[in-house]
Structure 1
Amino acid sequence: MLKFAGVVINNESSKVDRVFTYKIAETIVSSIKLGLRVKVPFGRGNRVVDGFIVELFENCENISNIKEIISICDDFTVISENDIKLITLMREKYMCTYLDCIKLIMPTGITRGMNQKVKNVVSLKCELSGKYHKDPYENIYTIVSDNDGIYTKSELSKKFNVSLSSINTLVKYGFLTYDVKIVDRFNERVYENYSERKLNVSQKSATQKIMNDKNNKFLIHGITGSGKTEIYMQLVSLMIDKGKEAIVLVPEIALTPQMIERFKGRFGKNIAVFHSRLSQGERYDEWLRVKSKKVKVAVGARSALFLPFSNLGIIIIDEEHELSYKSDVTPKYNAIDVAMMKADLEDCKLVLGSATPSIETYYKCENKEIELIELNERADGAKLPSATIVDMREELLNDNRSMFSGVLKQEITTVLEKKEQIILFINRRGHSTFVSCRKCGYVFKCEHCDIALTYHSDSKKLICHYCGSVKSLSATCPKCASKYVKYFGVGTEKIEHEVWKTFPDAKTIRMDYDTTRGKNSFEHIYNIFKNGDADILIGTQMVAKGLDFKNVTLVGVIAADLSLNLPDYRANERTFQLINQVSGRAGRGSKPGKVIIQTYDPSSSAIIAASENDYQGFYKEEIQMRKLMDYPPFKNILLINLSSKFESLLIKNIQNIGILLKDILQKCSNIKMLGPCPCSISKIKEMYRWQIILKGNFNSKFSNDIKKIVYDGIKNDYNNIRVNMDINPTSLL
């Protein structure tokens, strides 16, 4: 008989990041399960706190001081047995706490008593009689009869212009009553039917292989427009037929409207949607719908991976190369890696899809860890767009100082005349990259971060893209008082202004972080362009992937080399992926597409390979560079980032840690240490930043040993220094 439970306490401190043993009272032993949330006494004062049961056992060696579980919080488990196994794996791999992982899995707000939203609706109780058989009572009674159990009394009063007092009278004398109704806080919209498409030979072959192969991990490497989404939908349909459930991940919210539109159009409204733009209540309701088995499919961003499906058949991750699948907050997990763990734990299929797979994923295919499926033709027989690289240095020599080359300007004019659509892409929002004085060279920087401010013409303000601080632009230089203040660089706003000036009759819309902050703004912009109510869509990486607009025949890449010059080992890969993906937005319908790639570095191998849609050529060159430089997938990287408001204290501590690590690494010839040194952006939000990078063949145990050394090294200044550690980060900035 079970007598003891291992409980993880709901406490943020890493000092209590372990499993505590509690007695199980006989009164609740029959209800105790793994994964339940319970109330327990904790600490010297026996403060009552939440805990999560992660172990159950019959015997315990020392039971003299063991406390007892007080009560069970919910009538359902918040984490499953497989979740507990996943939490253990993630805690080890990502150097985080039990609680960090539990918070990913349980619904937001549950520990604060969040429940389903309810309202008191008006319903019929008995027939009218006596003096109440007259207006206005008969009118109200008829309205309630037609809308029984739908509206509250205030909603009835406003919608049908009837008296609240009269409603109260009918309730008082028993003709009407109040019933509790659960309010659904999720998307109940009915979408236009998205009928099943007939698969071509390649799509059929891919579907059959995934369903029938003994392997459980697959990469669909399909060129843009090859019909990967239709394969996903067919796989989900087959899993539903087998009584299984499915999770479909998209990299960011910009892609969610289109994927929801297709999946709800195919499978009906009973699909859970899960992403960060939902309110806490909406997220809770979607979580509960999955938990109560009301839905079999979830579509969403990376957090949807942890929804509580009990019979999972498949996990699909679209655009698997996207950096947004890597969390930048603790726990700093990679959704691809976690999905691989989950596929093994749940004994389900994992399907990754991309036209430009990450180097790490494709390398796993070469090593047979993942089964590779290639799709080399567009699903409907359409041709890939033709691409032209324009050397912007020659444009300058020809006295063209516009941000549009002669070729791009001519193509835009032609496409507008044909009533077709255009996407203009630049991977930078705002009007100008930075503002400086042409006389003394002073650059307007953020007072809180070591970064140049970006000028936004809509607000006429300088904005920091790291801390969000806003500053008015001075007409004179703060350093030399000259009036030679000039904007440099280019952003989405500046392109928009240039389009207005050059093509005044074109209807233009912009999609970037600034225009998509509102709750439904992504979907609003998406629908405007989809419905043909705009001619030109200007955007950042949000427009580069997944979107399928049949009337887009021209894509212009304004500054292809922007991401090439970042001090990051992924810069080449990122550039290739962005150009290739955004190029794929052109010519997806019956009309041929063109891509104009503007660059100051036309000899870049990444840009050339992207223009030729040559993934294999790019991969071969990039994988050799990675091997030569000891970067993933050949070696691991551990980024140790320390930050503090006190610069001298920070430097002293990180240098001490550097000395401790050097002593240890003398015995590890296969591990290199870079630093300590300031980060590329040495200050953000008033916090100075320094880092150490470890590179080599090491495992999770080594990472956790290093973590202990780092925390021991700052124990005297723990409250003044923030530690951030990340395995194989997406960026080293």
Structure 2
Amino acid sequence: MYKYAGVIINSNSIQLDRLFTYEIPENLIEKIKVGSRVLVPFGLGNKKIDGFVIELYENVENIKRMKKIYSIFNEFPLLTQENLILIDQMKEKYLCTYMECIKTIIPSALFKGMKNKKEVLIFTGKLLDDKFDKEPYQSIYNIVKANNGKFTKTHLSKNFQVSLSSINTMLKHKFLIQQESIVNRYNDREYLSYEKKELNEEQKNAVNKILNCHEKKFLIHGVTGSGKTEIYMNLVQKMMDQGKESIILVPEISLTPQMVERFKGRFGKDITVFHSKLSDGERLDEWLRVKEGKVKVAIGARSAIFLPFENLGLIVIDEEHEGSYKSDSDPKYNAREIGEIKTELHNCKLVLGSATPSIETYYRCNNSEFELITLNNRADGANMPRIQIVDMREELANNNRSIFSKKLFEEIENRLNKKEQIILFLNRRGFSTFVSCRKCGYVFKCNNCDISLTYHNLGDSLICHYCGSRQKVPKLCPKCGSNYVKYFGVGTERVQEEIKKYFPQAKTLRMDFDTTRKKNSYEYIYNTFKEGKADILIGTQMIAKGLDFHNVTLVGVIAADLSLNLPDFRASERTFQLITQVSGRAGRGKKEGTVVVQTYNPESYSIISASDNNYLGFYNEEINLRNIMNYPPFSQIMLINMSSENEDLLIKNIQNVGIILKDILKNNDKIEILGPCPCEISKIKNNYRWQIIIKGDMELELKKYIRDRIYETLKEVYNHIRVSMDVNPLSLI
């Protein structure tokens, strides 16, 4: 019988990231399990704090002055044995703490004490007597009678302007009673039927290979429109037939409505949808439905990978190359890597899908770590769109200073006349890139961040896209006093303004971070365009992937160079992926598609390969460069970021860290240290930022030793300097 428990307490402190042993009181011995959330005394003052039982012991050596667990929170353990194995691996892989992992796996609502139950008012049938046959009692009586079990006391009081004391009086005299009821905050909307489609030969071969091959990990490399979603659906159906569960990951909320529409149309409403736009209560309800075995399929963004399925048969990661699968807060996990760990834990299948696989994933296919499945044709036999590159330098030489090339302008006019739809892609929101003085060159920057402010036409404002601060556009330059203040560059708002100017009859929609902040706003824009109520959809990365509109015959890439010129080793890869993905939105129906790519750098191999739909050509160029430069997949990168409001303190301490790291690695010729140096964006939200990059062949123990030495070095200033360590980051900016 277990009488003692190893508990991780709920603290962000790295110094407290270890097990503390507690005695289990007699009344809890049968109830407490590994994974239980408990309340314990901690510290000299015996402060009450929650924690999680990670281990159980029959005996311990030193029991003097050992503290006892106070109580247990939930009827069932929140963490499973598989969770604990996963947490151990995440701790090592991402250099994070127990609680950072636990808070990633468990819904935040449970830490806030939220429940999926509420006390609702029930009509008892008792008739009102003379004393109560008057207002407000008559109204309360009639409302509850007509809506039996629907309202809580608070809800009834707020929505019908009746006092809580009157409701309590009705309860006291047994005209009403309260009863606990399960809250259903999840999406139970009915969807139009999405009939099963006949698979073509490529699709059938893919399904059969995944189901019958002894390998567990697969990459489907299929051109845009090759029918990867239909393959996923067939695999999910096979899993359901076997009584197994499936997780389908999409990169972000922007893809969820269409995927949900198809899956719920095929399999009914008992599919959980899990993403960050849900409220805490909605996320808790969905998590509990999975925990209780009420659903067999989950569709969601990155965090859905942690849903507590017990009989998992399939994990699908669609658009596997997408950066949104990587978390930018601790633990800085990658959902693809978590998928691989869970594949081993549950002995299930892992399927990655993309028209533009990440360089690392395709490299692993060539090294036989993944089984490669290639789909070369569109599922319905449609042709790939024609992609034309326009050199914007020639447009300038011909005195065309518009954001639209002559070719794109003509194509837009042509499609509008034919009543066909158009997508215009620009990887930047706002009206313009920056605002500056033409006389002295002064660029308006954020006071809190080392970044130029973006002009937004709505409200005539300058907005920082990092901290959100905004200000009115000054009439005069603060440096030289001139009134030659001008907007430079182009954003989605500006594209929309230009369309209205040249094509006033066209109905436009804009899809970017600004227009999709509200709940369900993305779904509204998506459905409006799908139903043909708009002619042109203008957007950022959100429109580059997954969308399937059969009347879209033209895609215009306004400025292909925006992502190409970033100071990051993945810039060419991202440019190729974006152009290929957004090009794939054209010609998905029976009508032929055209893509116009505007660029100032038409010689770039990433732009040329994308226009030829030549992934292998791009991969071979890029993998050779990565090999020469010793970048992933040929090395690992450890990015160490340090930030502080005190710039002098930051510089002094990061230089000390740099000296220590160079001493640790002085005899290791397989590892290179870059820095310390200021980050590309050297200040965000009044915090100065510096970084060190370690690149090379790093063993797990070395990474942990580096982490521990850094924290040891900074322990005296830890409250004044923030440290972030990211193993294999997606960006070095």
Return the TM-score normalized by structure 2.
0.95
Match of 1:12 in 2: 12
Structure 1 175/31 Cα, relative in aligned 2: closer, same or farther at 3 Å? closer
Give the structure 2 partner of residue 465 of structure 1. Answer: 465
Matches within 5 A, 1:709-720: 709-720=709-720
Give 1:560 deviation, angstroms: 0.5
Distance 1:525 1:81 in 2: 43
Secondary structure of 1:295 counterpart: coil
Q: Does 1:197 align with 2:202?
A: no
Kept in 1, the 8 Å contact 2:550–2:588? The answer is yes
Shift of 1:255: 0.6
Counterpart secondary structure, 1:618: helix
In structure 2, the gaps of 5 or more residues are none
Q: Deviations over 1:384-443 (max 9, x none)?
A: 101000001111111111010111111111111111110000101111101111111111
Deviation at 1:167, TM superposition (A): 9.4
The reply on whether 1:219 has 2:219 as its aligned counterpart is yes
The structure-2 alpha-carbon separation of the partners of 1:136 and 1:82, relative to structure 1 and needing over 3 Å to count, comes to: closer
- 1:41 is aligned to 41
The aligned runs of 1:366-445 (5 Å cut-off) are: 366-445=366-445
Mean Cα displacement is larger for which, 260-269 or 359-368? 260-269
Q: CA deviation at 1:330?
A: 0.9
Secondary structure of 1:545's aligned partner: coil
Q: Aligned residue for 2:81?
A: 81
Q: Indicate the SS of the match to 1:69.
A: coil
Uncovered stretches (5+) of structure 1, i.e. residues with no partner:
none
Q: What is the rounded CA distance, in whole Å, between the counterparts of 1:682 and 1:350 in structure 2? A: 39
State the shift of 1:447 in Å. 1.0
| C-alpha contact (below 8 Å) 2:117/2:180 kept by paired residues | no
Hey, what does 2:353 align to over in structure 1?
353
Corresponding residue number in structure 2 for 1:658: 658
Could you say what secondary structure the match of 1:547 adopts? coil
Alpha-carbon deviation of 1:109? 2.5
Structure 1 residues 240 and 399: alpha-carbon distance in aligned structure 2, compared to 1, 3 A threshold: same
Q: After superposition, what is the alpha-carbon deviation per residue over 1:222-274, rounded to whole angstroms, capped at 9, x for unaligned?
A: 11000011111111111111111111111011111111111111111111111
Once residues 515 and 177 of structure 1 are traced to their aligned partners in structure 2, the CA distance between those partners, rounded to angstroms, is: 45
SS of residue matched to 2:185? coil
2:574 match: 574
* Number of the residue aligned with 1:730: 730
Aligned to 1:637: 637
Cα pair 1:385 1:583 within 8 Å, conserved: yes
For 1:560, what is the secondary structure of its paired residue? coil
Q: Is the 8 A contact 1:125 1:177 kept in 2?
A: no
SS of corresponding position for 1:389: strand
CA drift of 1:117 comes to: 4.5
Maintained 8 Å contact 1:244/1:311: yes
Matched, 1:489 2:495: no
Structure 2 counterpart of 1:622: 622
Partner of 2:240, secondary structure, is helix
Q: Does 1:252 align with 2:252?
A: yes
Q: CA deviation at 1:133?
A: 12
C-alpha contact (below 8 Å) 2:37/2:72 kept by paired residues = yes
Match in the other structure for 2:525: 525
CA–CA distance in 2 between the matches of 1:400 and 1:600?
14
AA at the equivalent of 2:103: K
| Corresponding residue of 2:681 | 681
| Aligned-partner SS, 1:109 | helix
Deviation at 1:63, TM superposition (A): 2.7
- Counterpart in the other structure of 2:274: 274
Q: What amino acid is the match of 1:459?
A: G
Are residue 536 (structure 1) and residue 536 (structure 2) matched?
Answer: yes
Deviation at 1:593, TM superposition (A): 0.6
Mark the CA change 1:55 to 1:134 in structure 2 (over 3 Å): closer, same or farther: closer
Q: CA deviation at 1:635?
A: 0.2
Is residue 721 from structure 1 mapped to residue 721 from structure 2 by the alignment?
A: yes
Q: CA deviation at 1:150?
A: 3.7
Answer whether contact 1:121 1:180 (CA < 8 A) is retained: no
1:168: Cα distance to partner? 9.2
Structure 1 pair 171–665 and aligned structure 2 pair: CA distance change class (3 A)? closer
2:208 aligns with 208
Task: Give a deviation string over 1:108-145, Cα, whole Å, max 9, x none.
Answer: 13122111242423335468999999999999999877
Aligned residue for 1:476? Answer: 476
Deviation track 1:33-63 (CA, whole Å, cap 9, x = no partner) reads 1111011221222222111111123232333
RMSD (Å) for aligned C-alpha atoms:
2.5
Structure 1 residues 353 and 533 mapped into 2: Cα distance closer, same or farther (>3 Å)? same
Matches within 5 A, 1:128-167: 148-151=148-151
Deviations 1:643-667 (A, max 9, x none): 1111111111111111111111111
Shift of 1:25: 2.7
Q: Deviations over 1:154-191 (max 9, x none)?
A: 98899999999999998777566444433311112111
Q: Tell me the SS of whatever aligns to 1:564.
A: coil
SS in 2 for 1:659: helix
In 2, distance between residues paired with 1:691 and 1:48?
A: 38
| 2:564 alignment partner, SS class | helix
Greater alpha carbon shift after TM alignment, 530-539 vs 53-62: 53-62
| Contact 1:123-1:179 within 8 A present in 2 as well | no
**Aligned equivalent of 1:108:** 108
CA distance in 2, matches of 1:165, 1:661: 67
SS of the residue aligned with 2:30? helix
Q: Which residue identity is paired with 2:7?
A: V
Q: Distance in 2 between matches of 1:677 and 1:160?
A: 61
Distance 1:686 1:540 in 2: 28
Q: CA deviation at 1:506?
A: 0.2
The equivalent of 1:500 in structure 2 is: 500
The answer on whether the counterparts of 1:122 and 1:152 sit within 8 Å (CA) in structure 2 is no
- Mapped to 1, the partners of 2:390 and 2:460 lie a distance apart of 32
| Paired position in structure 1 for 2:230 | 230
Percent identical pairs in the alignment equals 63
2:70 & 2:154 partners in 1: Cα distance? Answer: 42
Q: Is the 8 A contact 2:124 2:174 kept in 1?
A: no
Counterpart CA distance in 1 for 2:333 and 2:167 is 55
SS at match of 1:490: coil
Query: Quick one: which amino acid aligns to residue 636 of structure 1?
Result: Q
2:290 partner amino acid: V
1:610 is displaced (CA, Å) by 0.5
1:580-595 matched pairs, under 5 angstroms: 580-595=580-595
1:181 aligns with 2:177: no
User: Deviations 1:615-643 (Å, cap 9, x if unpaired)?
Assistant: 01100110111111010111000111111
Q: Report the count of equivalent residues.
A: 733
Question: Is the counterpart of residue 320 in structure 1 residue 320 in structure 2?
Answer: yes
| Cα-to-partner distance string for 1:286-313 (whole Å, 9 max, x where unaligned) | 1111111111111111011111111111
Measure, in 2, the Cα distance between the counterparts of 1:139 and 1:682. 62
Structure 1 contact 217–350 (Cα < 8 Å) conserved = yes
**Worse-superposed segment, 154-163 or 468-477:** 154-163
**Aligned mates of 2:161, 2:241 — CA distance in 1:** 48
Q: What is the CA–CA distance in structure 1 between the aligned matches of 2:435 and 2:418, rounded to whole Å?
A: 38
Q: Structure 1-normalised TM-score?
A: 0.95
Distance 1:171-1:14 versus aligned 2 partners, 3 A rule:
closer
Q: Matches of 2:114 and 2:256 in 1, distance apart?
A: 26
The question of whether the paired residues in 2 share the 8 Å contact of 1:124 and 1:148 is answered with no
Which sits farther off after the overlay, 555-564 or 111-120? 111-120
Change (3 A) 1:674 1:141: closer
Distance 1:26 1:410, change over 3 A: same
Partner of 2:564: 564
* Counterpart contact for 2:22–2:69, Cα < 8 Å: yes
Q: Deviations over 1:17-40 (max 9, x none)?
A: 011222223322222211110112
